[in-house]
Amino acid sequence: MPRYSDELIEEVRQTNDIVDVISQYVHLKRSGRNYFGLCPFHNEKSPSFSVSPDKQIFHCFGCGVGGNVYTFLMKIEGISFIEAVQSLAERANIQLPTLENNVDTAKEILKSKVLKVNEIAANFYHENLYLPESKIAQDYIKKRKLTNETLKAFKIGYSGKFDELYHKLKKEGFEDTEILESGLVNKNDKGQYIDRYRNRLMFPICDARGKVIAFGGRVLDDSKPKYINSPENIAYSKGRNLFGLNVAKKQGHLKQLLIVEGYMDVISLHQRGITNVVAPLRNSTNSGTRMVT
């Protein structure tokens, strides 16, 4: 397993104050030397979750979880130790070295390329939505009464019609293998590269950190299927993510989320001021609405 040096791990840990990091997820109040808040890992009404700025650790007297800033991030985001180091290094503007060359590193590099492809694609789709030739998508948006603010918050977009995204990505310097891994472009029997999403309204799916990991695409005519979702890949696993979580998180909701069925439900509720809503990415058999805490 490749790993970062102990010194670097320590430097990244020390540069990220645990109170600052946890405050992004939990509302903390100072009491004496420590901070207290409602534990994000179990359901409670009075705060038993404590954070010590002196020791740079957290501990919950209710459920017993505890650890340092890395432990917290791994637990709350469901990420690996290496991902926690990378995330906190990015937060503190610390440049990490490339891990020694081996299979894991190649995987990490491909994953970061795919995330970059997704980011560029999301911007491409979003800008495309405002072009005169995207009238069909604009008409749908008008019909659903989505405001510009909503379009921006969810970075809703409109795909190309044939291979526009592929050419855009080639122009940005990506390799075919990286583009294919993203699942946004397919190669047909004749060796042609064709965009997976054509003539569709595009919904970027983000992880809790706000990185675009996949897309949902809705048809704008009567063709089937109504929705296409990105295939699982190196950067995306359906079970681990929820549509709208990054937006709900920005509003400070994490304790109580309302689960609804589809992307458009999340978006329309959000526009009506109900912002703690998310939708599952799997083809869920449960329909309707339920509460989770």
Residues contributing to the site for Zn ion (CB under 5 A): 39, 41-42, 60, 62-63
Q: CB of residue 259 vs Zn ion: minimum separation in angstroms?
A: 22
> Which CB sits closer to Zn ion, 31 or 177?
31
Q: CB of residue 66 vs Zn ion: minimum separation in angstroms?
A: 9
Amino acid, single-letter form, for residue 192:
Q
**E strands of 230-276, at which residues?**
242-243, 257-259
> Which CB sits closer to Zn ion, 38 or 258?
38
Distance of CA 256 to the CA centre of its chain: 18
The helix/strand count (H/E) of the chain reads as: 11, 15
> Which CB sits closer to Zn ion, 42 or 170?
42
In contact, 188 and 171? CB cutoff 8 Å: no
Alpha-carbon distances, residue 75 vs 2, 81, 250 (angstroms): 21, 10, 19
Q: CB of residue 253 vs Zn ion: minimum separation in angstroms?
A: 18
How many CA atoms lie less than 13 Å away from 168 in the CB half-sphere?
A: 21
> Which CB sits closer to Zn ion, 21 or 26?
26
Q: CB of residue 8 vs Zn ion: minimum separation in angstroms?
A: 30
Q: CB of residue 41 vs Zn ion: minimum separation in angstroms?
A: 5
Q: CB of residue 154 vs Zn ion: minimum separation in angstroms?
A: 32
The residues facing 57 across adjacent strands are 52
> Which CB sits closer to Zn ion, 60 or 267?
60
* Helix (H) or strand (E) run with residue 90 in it: helix 81-91
* Helix (H) or strand (E) run with residue 119 in it: helix 103-129
* Helix (H) or strand (E) run with residue 113 in it: helix 103-129
> Which CB sits closer to Zn ion, 64 or 97?
64
